[in-house]
Amino acid sequence: MPLIAPSLLASDFLHLADACKMVNESEADWFHLDVMDGRFVPNISYGIPVIEHIRKVARKPCDVHLMIEEPEKLTPAFKMAGADMLIVHLETCRNLHSNIQQIRSLGMKPAVAVNPHTPVELLKDILFDLHHVLIMTVNPGFGGQSFIPHSIEKVRELRKMIAKTGKEILIEVDGGITLENAASLVEAGADILVAGSSVFQAKDPARVIHLLKNS
Ligand code: DX5
Ligand code: ZN
């Protein structure tokens, strides 16, 4: 059974407390929180003060996805805000290994995200230091985009690479995840499904979370 991490990016920001309550009471496993800086990605979402508030009411681990340049500069601030897991993009880190050490030394679980054009092979020498890998299944920056089908091959390939390490490293997929493609991603080896629009635009978000969980 996959872990489900609803992305609050697709929720109604005027009623964030309701969205948090729904996630708390649902079968979801984590909160997925997307941070965008308008530089690495062509959009700005929300930042540290909003995460601090979400963390106060979230009763599940918070998986914070940093789509920002120079994430190492703000890593301690995201720890202070309450991030349990911190995801940095391979494309933004010139010293990825030391960034991962920094995240771990602050007591968070480290993860690395790769954009659609980035081959998973580039993770070979960092893989065993990670709690999870996030495979972007759309280009980062916006919710509500269409899933890129080639991502399924990347999940399969990464699953084989992880098997060789003999360690339990989780694979997360993010972007355009729906009830239609969830099962094939799980079959390919995905452990965590992030879902924004498919959950928050549904009439019954908790039911979609339940169905994703059983995909
Ligand atoms: C995109 C974000 C995603 C986004 C997913 O840059 O990383 O987490 O919120 O939204 P959907 O599920 O709508 O594609
Ligand atoms: Zn995300």
Distance 174 CA to ligand 1 centre (A): 6
As annotated, the active-site residues are 34, 174
Question: What does the pLDDT profile of the chain (215 residues) look like in tens digits?
Answer: 999 999 999 999 999 999 999 999 999 999 999 999 999 999 999 999 999 999 999 999 999 999 999 999 999 999 999 999 999 999 999 999 999 999 999 999 999 999 999 999 999 999 999 999 999 999 999 999 999 999 999 999 999 999 999 999 999 999 999 999 999 999 999 999 999 999 999 999 999 999 999 99
CB of 6 closer than 6 angstroms to any ligand 1 atom: no
Residue to mutate, 8, 87, 145, 193, ligand 1, most ligand atoms under 8 Å from C-beta: 145
Cβ–Cβ < 8 Å for 172, 194: yes
CB of 65 closer than 6 angstroms to any ligand 1 atom: yes
Distance 65 CA to ligand 2 centre (A): 5
Report the domain count for the chain. 1
Determine the structural domain holding residue 86 and report its residue range.
3-213
CA distance linking residue 49 with residue 130, whole number of Å: 27
CA distance linking residue 152 with residue 39, whole number of Å: 28
Question: The pTM is what?
Answer: 0.98
Q: Looking at the chain, how many residues does it have?
A: 215
Of 175, 178, 131, 130, nearest to 154 by C-alpha is 175
Q: Using the atom order of ligand 1, give the atom closest to the CA of residue 196.
A: 12
What is the SS3 assignment for 192? strand
Cβ–Cβ < 8 Å for 88, 113: yes
Q: Tokens 């879902």 identify what position?
A: 195
CB of 9 closer than 6 angstroms to any ligand 1 atom: yes
CATH number at residue 198: 3.20.20.70
Counting ligands in written order, which one lies closest to the CA of residue 196? 1
